[in-house]
Amino acid sequence: MATHLQKQIEKIKKEILSLGAMVEDRFQKAIYAIKVEDLELAQKIIDTDFQIDEREIEVEEECLKILALYQPVAMDLRFLVAVVKINNDLERIADYAANIAQRFKTSSQNKAKFKYDYTAMADQAAKMLRMSLDALVHLNVDMAYEVRDMDKDVNLMRNEAYDSMKRDIRNQPEMVGDIINMYLISRHLERIGDHTTNISEEVIYLIEGEIIRHS
Amino acid sequence: MERHIKMYTENLDFFYGNSQALHDISIDFDENRVTALIGPSGCGKSTYLRCLNRMNDLIPNIKVKGRAMLDKKDIYDPSLDVVTLRRRVGMVFQKPNPFPKSIFENIAYGLKVNGVKDKAEITRIVEKSLKQAAIWDEVKDRLNESALGLSGGQQQRLCIARALAVAPEVLLMDEPASALDPIATQKIEELIAELSSRLTIIIVTHNMQQAARVSDRTAFFYLGKLIELNDTDTLFTKPELKQTEDYITGRFG
């Protein structure tokens, strides 16, 4: 029979997973809004970011409560520490989604005609996020290592966006402000990739007990 | 850092009649370090602790095999004086057990038994021991009152002072804080940290957080066997064996 602590931990697991799904939905919608030029959708993402912030605080408080009441050790302790950090990464990813929406909004106010398709890059980042959370739930260390390796693809795509937009600035110097804004979206996606890498590294810590960050 | 092993057991077996309570226990105890023994009730940790100053000798029909060494000398050597051994390896029990005498006499008793006659010397050691046990300020004005009038936490610190008075080299503690409230427990834990700079301490505790807080190394016992012996930090964050993990996280039986 599961102890009370294990039930609480199962509950936290569900909450962090549901928060992860919400966050993934947001940044994919932000990219979709750019693709179909849906300003209303972009505005909605910006306006509802507070929902993620509230959920982040709920998860953190729940973890702190369990740490204080049960003083967990070993695997349970590592799980809760990992969740506190992953929770923070998810909140940051949602912030980037709101930033992406904001940049799109700013560019369209200037009636920019400039566009860049970020679908592939966003798909890759979303896949990394999903896999890192799957790795957390199923304690799959191989999957976590895989996510870590995938980060370089996202970095590569950011570089491609950079080269492409450098050419665009040369060709349309009057658009420089908007192009920089669009470039920064690739930077946000790249940062989202970094946060999913952090999540996978937390999962590796949780399973193997070794901190592999910065190595 | 060079290790100095104060005490160790090698392949220690222990029997109550025909029933074997300890199987092949080998542990080294570093000098001036704290080792915690944890495990479920009946796992043999208290039996093992009592082997270390031959407290089990008082029980009929027991048998000890293997070796238990203090400063490289076998403590089960028939020529060894058990009273001297118990002076060098002191013990504090689960329930505070002061003598029904004055606070002063509780500490002085062991000294007198050990042949200290000089009154000034006795007074000096009584004060020093009470200070070491962090209880001096609370009792200095009532040394001639009965020890039984002290609170549980004070009585336990008095018993620690009594153990310290005869200048032991090793201190065995069997659940020293389990009958105390959280404040008294905290005082005992602080005392353990303080004493560990000059004493080798071996503590049995059911409270795993306490083991984690006070000890440098932790030994996990189960069914009379030593399952895992590890640095306390490692044992409580990333134990090597699943059996240890299951016990400390409460996924046990």
pLDDT (tens digit per residue) in B95-108: 899 999 999 999 99
Please list, in sequence order, all residues whose beta carbon lies within 8 angstroms of the beta carbon of residue B224, skipping any fewer than 6 positions away.
B20, B21, B22, B23, B43, B44
Confidence of residue B123 (pLDDT cuts 50, 70, 90): very high
What distance in Å separates the CA atoms of residue B130 and residue B99, rounded to the nearest whole number?
Answer: 16
pLDDT in tens, B180-220: 888 888 988 999 999 999 999 999 998 888 999 999 999 99
Q: In this structure, are residues A97 and A15 in contact, taking their beta carbons and an 8 Å threshold?
A: no
Residues of chain A falling short of pLDDT 50: 1
pTM of the predicted protein model: 0.82
Element (H, E) at B226: strand B225-231
Which chain A residue lies closest to B249 (C-alpha atoms)?
Answer: A73
Mutate to test the interface with A, among B213, B238, B244 (most CBs of A within 10 A): B238
Scan for tokens 């940790």, then name that residue: B45
Are B237 and A209 inside 8 Å of each other by CB?
yes
- CATH architecture observed for domain B5-248: 3-Layer(aba) Sandwich (3.40)
Give me the pLDDT at residue A135, please. Answer: 94
B residues 222-251 closer than 8 Å to A (CB): 236-239, 244-245, 248-251
B residues 197-226 closer than 8 Å to A (CB): 208-209, 212
Instruction: For chain A, list the domains and their CATH numbers.
Output: 2-208 (1.20.58.220)
- Chain B neighbors of A77, CB-CB under 8 A: 236-237
Q: Which residue has the higher pLDDT, B133 or A2?
A: B133
Give the minimum alpha-carbon distance from B247 to chain A in angstroms, rounded to a whole number.
10
pLDDT in tens, B82-93: 999 999 999 999
Scan for tokens 């002085």, then name that residue: B108
Nearest alpha carbon to residue B180 among B146, B216, B205:
B205
Q: Which residue has the higher pLDDT, B162 or A112?
A: B162
Please tell me whether residue B36 adopts helix, strand or coil conformation. strand
Given the cut 0.85, state whether the ipTM is greater than it: no
Give me the pLDDT at residue B9, please. Answer: 97
pLDDT in tens, B166-190: 999 999 999 998 888 888 889 889 9
- Chain A neighbors of B240, CB-CB under 8 A: none
What distance in Å separates the CA atoms of residue B71 and residue A208, rounded to the nearest whole number?
Answer: 39
Mutate to test the interface with B, among A4, A75, A139, A212 (most CBs of B within 10 A): A75
Handedness of CA B123, B126, B131, B137 (dihedral sign): negative
Please tell me whether residue B94 adopts helix, strand or coil conformation. coil
